[in-house]
């Protein structure tokens, strides 16, 4: 694993020697996230978001485990048990707000992590497996977040569960039986709530497992870097510890500061007020929306309004899942051998267009399903697919990239020299 | 594979190319596969609706109190059910429509039972995204076709609960139902 000049673990203390020769766990940690793991010396702050995602998962697991000590997954009492946590349980209000906002912050850092990878070409050879495992983590996160949002059993929980499981109902022939099977009934009820709780507790640990694979796959070629060029020798790297543990530590501090600002001063800003109304199967909220981090996908789902061979609703479902499945093919759609967007003038412009496009989709997904939002989401959804299926393959073929530096060190020194002059 | 070939000693193969060890291998692994698949069945099946959920899968409703022009909302399979006593005007309005002009072509006859055309029994679940349409309760708006109106995305249903306008793909679902007597209907 990693580069030949990586330092080897040589414990001095007899106790560590004793442990290491029997269970080489200290050795594993040393060469994975310690001084024995050489990392490109030029990583910028966008490389913090992997560690921040891990920190967010840790926050979710810790707060989630304690919340589960007070929550009751039963349709009759679930809503009340959440209110019990908010009003009666010691520090319960803080733990629940930490968990609810933790989910939002988890998605914020993961989205930044994904766009970092998109800009710097981190999905390209030899890191395709890192990218694919990352997408698996993202899908697991979405499933976990959706099921977690159902647990408080408020109006948005209930109707969100109904709409999302209804997506499976759009499949021809097998749709309705699958929906009934997923819910364990004909509409969301106790059976659905219980199984969602069970899976909501399980999936974060599955995510943790896939994260280990993600990091393992990353450590074979080592981290990408802002120039996108390969590490050529020891002068291009610094040890992970203390250099990047310190840099990640600083980033973590900033992250926690922003997280706490929302948690303590605007804990409901990212939630929907209707979820403080208990679930009522006989009354639909006027405007059903998922949590903000699903809005771009919700906009794609609703962008289809015309039946064309298949019903419009099914097209929406296909497009929504397709928008993520598509990303699995990205390493083979972008054929440019240059990784970093810094050296790809045309790609760089289209990258920022994609960012704007996804923001527009997100804005439409949170808006009511009426004009002009429907038309805008149709255009934005079309552009999303065009970016990956048409623009990227053509750009990677036509574009003339800027000259690459000879080495990471050269790029660093040149930048430093320019700054000094 | 090379090691397998070296173990292929004469006498074990009986000359037909099939070795006893291959047979045992395939048989054992297949049998274990069948066993694993069999164990999977109850693990998947446990997620289907349980007996108590299915026990509520049919209900009986007494219609005697529902006057002409009135409708009731009740619950069938944990979802709203609309039972509507159509007026003569509503029936003729539904009959006047040419079914072939509809998105989901059906006549009122096809959606009710013979001789009980005035009893329109449908799920109160919009076929678009599952909201509960308005129009069954006293004073609720019925939409421009006089049937039901879904406030979520503006689907309008007519007096036979057929989709006439808006994004819903199909008519409101008619559940399986049968009259047990003149005034009692069993749904499900």
**Does the beta carbon of B165 lie under 8 angstroms from any beta carbon of chain A?**
no
Q: Do B152 and A286 touch (CB under 8 A)?
A: yes
Chain A, 193-252: which have a CB under 8 Å from a chain B CB? 195
Contact (CB, 8 A) for B185 and B63: yes
Q: Which two tokens stand for residue A304?
A: 């289809």
Mean pLDDT value of segment A72-86: 95
The beta-carbon neighbor of B153 closest among A159, A187, A369 is: A369
What 3-state class would DSSP assign to B81?
Answer: strand
* Interface A:B, Cβ pairs < 8 A: 69
SS3 content of chain B, % helix, strand, coil (to 5): 30, 20, 50
B69–chain A Cβ distance below 8 A for any pair: no
Predicted pLDDT at A420: 47
Q: Which residues of A touch B130 (CB under 8 A)?
A: 159, 162-163, 166, 284
Residue of B nearest to A311 (CA): B169
Q: At residue B76, does pLDDT exceed 90?
A: no
Per-residue b or e along B53-73, where b marks 16 or more CB atoms closer than 10 Å to that residue's CB? beebeebebebeebeeeebee
Range of lowest pLDDT (A139-148, B5-14, B20-29)? B5-14
Interface residue A41 vs chain B (CB under 8 A): no
- Per the CB < 8 A criterion, the answer to whether B118 and B159 are in contact is no
- Both tokens assigned to A149: 């949002």
A 175-194 → B contacts, CB under 8 A: 180-182, 184-187, 189, 191
Q: Residue B5's pLDDT is what?
A: 52
Check CB contact under 8 Å for A189 and B151: no
Domain limits, chain B: 1-48, 52-187
Indicate the SS3 state at residue B80.
strand
* Cβ distance of B132 and A284 shorter than 8 Å: yes
CA-atom Rg of chain A in angstroms: 24
Please give the Cα distance from A273 to A160 (Å, whole number).
Answer: 14
Domain at B52-187, CATH from 3.10.450.50, 2.40.440.10, 2.102.10.10, 3.40.50.280: 2.102.10.10
User: Strand, coil or helix: what is B134?
Assistant: strand
Which residues are CB-neighbours of A115 under 8 A, at least 6 positions away?
Answer: A355
pLDDT at B2 over 80: no
Give the mean model confidence (pLDDT) for residues B122-133: 86
Sheet strands side by side (includes B156-158): B146-149, B156-158, B163-165
Active site residues of A: 219, 223, 247-248, 291
Quick one: pLDDT band at residue A248, thresholds 50, 70, 90? very high
Using pLDDT thresholds of 50, 70 and 90, give the confidence band for residue B154: confident
pTM exceeding the 0.90 threshold for the entire prediction: no
What is the pLDDT averaged over residues A245-253?
96
pLDDT exceeds 70 at position B4: no
Mean pLDDT over residues A103-123, rounded? 97
Give the mutation candidate from B79, B123, B128, B173 for the A interface (greatest A CB count, under 10 A).
B79
* Predicted pLDDT at A419: 53
Contact: B47, A186; criterion CB under 8 Å:
no
How far is the alpha carbon of B179 from chain A, nearest alpha carbon, in Å? 23
Chain A positions touching B77 (Cβ under 8 A) are: 185-187
Please state whether beta strands A38-40 and B163-165 pair in parallel, antiparallel, or not at all (unpaired). unpaired
Q: Give ∠ CA A402-A47-A364 in degrees, rounded to 5.
A: 85
Is A80 or B61 the better-scoring residue by pLDDT?
A80
Phi and psi at A67, nearest 5°, equal: -65, -35
Percent above pLDDT 70 for chain B: 91
Per-residue pLDDT tens digits for A268-297: 999 999 999 999 888 888 788 899 999 999
Q: Which two tokens stand for residue A64?
A: 């989630």
SS3 B161: coil
* Residue-averaged pLDDT of chain B: 84
Do B169 and A170 touch, CB atoms closer than 8 A? no
Residue B78 has its nearest CB partner, among A281, A283, A307, at: A281
Write down the pLDDT at residue A25.
Answer: 94
Contact criterion met (CB < 8 Å) for A307 and B152: no
Instruction: Give me the catalytic one of B129, B153, B181, B184.
Output: B153
Closest CA to A384 of A320, A339, A293, A306: A320
Given a cut of 80, whether residue A141 has pLDDT beyond it is: yes
- Which of the two residues, B7 and A234, has the higher pLDDT score? A234
- Check residue B144 and give its pLDDT: 84
- Chain B residues in contact with A189 by the CB 8 A cut-off are 53, 78
Q: In this complex, do B152 and A187 lie within 8 Å of one another by their Cβ atoms?
A: no
Query: Are B152 and A182 in contact (CB < 8 Å)?
Result: no
B77 contacts A187? CB cut-off 8 A: yes
Strands A237-239 and B146-149: unpaired
Both structure tokens of B168: 């819903």
Q: How far is CA A94 from CA A70, A84, A276, A314, in A?
A: 13, 13, 16, 41
- Chain B, residues 38-57, CB within 8 A of chain A, namely 44, 47-50, 53, 57
Instruction: Using alpha carbons, list the distances in angstroms from residue A247 to A41, A122, A252, A411, B77.
Output: 12, 20, 9, 20, 56
Note whether A161 and A196 are within 8 A (CB): yes
């Amino acid at each position: 694993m990693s580069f030949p000049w990586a330092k080897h673990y040589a414990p001095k203390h007899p106790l560590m020697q004793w442990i290491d020769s029997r269970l080489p766990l200290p050795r594993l940690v040393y060469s994975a996230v310690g001084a024995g793991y050489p990392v490109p010396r030029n990583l910028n702050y966008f490389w913090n978001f992997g560690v921040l995602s891990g920190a967010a998962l840790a926050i979710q697991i810790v707060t989630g485990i304690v919340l589960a000590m007070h929550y009751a997954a039963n349709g009759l009492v679930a809503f009340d048990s959440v209110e019990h946590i908010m009003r009666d349980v010691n520090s319960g209000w803080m733990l629940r707000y930490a968990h609810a906002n933790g989910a939002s912050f988890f998605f914020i850092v993961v989205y930044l992590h994904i766009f970092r990878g998109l800009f710097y070409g981190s999905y390209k050879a030899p890191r395709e497996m890192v990218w694919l495992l990352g997408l698996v983590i993202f899908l697991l996160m979405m499933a976990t977040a959706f099921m977690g949002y159902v647990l408080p059993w408020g109006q948005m929980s209930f109707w969100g569960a109904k709409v999302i499981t209804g997506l499976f109902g759009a499949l021809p022939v097998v749709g309705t039986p699958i929906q009934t099977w997923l819910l364990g009934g004909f509409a969301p009820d106790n059976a659905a709530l219980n199984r969602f709780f069970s899976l909501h507790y399980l999936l974060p640990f599955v995510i943790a497992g896939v994260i280990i694979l993600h990091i393992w796959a990353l450590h074979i070629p080592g981290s990408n870097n802002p120039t996108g060029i390969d590490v050529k020798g020891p002068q291009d790297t610094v040890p992970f510890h203390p250099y990047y543990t310190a840099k990640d530590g600083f980033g973590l501090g900033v992250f926690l500061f922003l997280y706490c600002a929302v948690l303590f001063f605007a804990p409901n800003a990212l939630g929907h007020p209707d979820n403080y109304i208990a679930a009522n199967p006989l009354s639909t909220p006027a405007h059903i929306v998922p949590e903000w981090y699903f809005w771009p996908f919700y906009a794609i789902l609703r962008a289809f309004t015309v039946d064309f061979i298949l019903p419009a609703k099914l097209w929406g479902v296909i497009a929504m899942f397709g928008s993520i499945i598509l990303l699995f093919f990205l390493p083979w759609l972008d054929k440019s051998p240059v990784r970093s967007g810094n050296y790809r003038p045309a790609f760089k412009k289209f990258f920022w267009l994609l960012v704007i496009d996804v923001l527009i989709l997100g804005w439409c997904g949170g808006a009511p399903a009426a004009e002009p939002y429907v038309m805008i989401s149709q255009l934005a959804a079309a552009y999303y697919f065009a970016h990956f299926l048409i623009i990227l393959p053509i750009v990677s073929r036509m574009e003339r990239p800027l000259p690459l530096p000879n080495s990471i060190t050269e790029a660093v020194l040149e930048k430093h020299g320019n700054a000094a002059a | 594979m090379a090691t397998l070939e070296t173990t292929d000693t004469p006498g074990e193969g009986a000359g037909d190319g099939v070795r006893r060890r291959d047979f045992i291998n395939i048989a054992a692994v297949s049998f274990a596969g069948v066993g694993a698949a069999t164990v999977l069945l109850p693990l998947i099946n446990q997620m289907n609706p349980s007996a108590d959920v299915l026990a509520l899968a049919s209900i009986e409703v007494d219609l005697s109190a529902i006057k002409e022009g009135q409708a009731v909302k009740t619950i069938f399979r944990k979802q709203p059910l609309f039972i509507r006593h159509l007026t003569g005007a509503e029936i003729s309005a539904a009959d006047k429509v040419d079914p072939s002009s509809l998105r989901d072509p059906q006549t009122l006859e096809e959606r009710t039972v013979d001789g009980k055309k005035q009893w329109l029994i449908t799920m109160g679940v919009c076929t678009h995204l599952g909201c509960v349409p308005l129009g069954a309760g006293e004073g609720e708006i019925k939409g421009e076709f006089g049937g039901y109106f879904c406030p979520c995305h503006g689907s309008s249903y007519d007096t036979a609960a057929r989709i006439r306008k808006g994004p819903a793909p199909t008519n409101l679902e008619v559940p399986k139902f049968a009259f047990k007597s003149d005034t009692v209907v069993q749904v499900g």
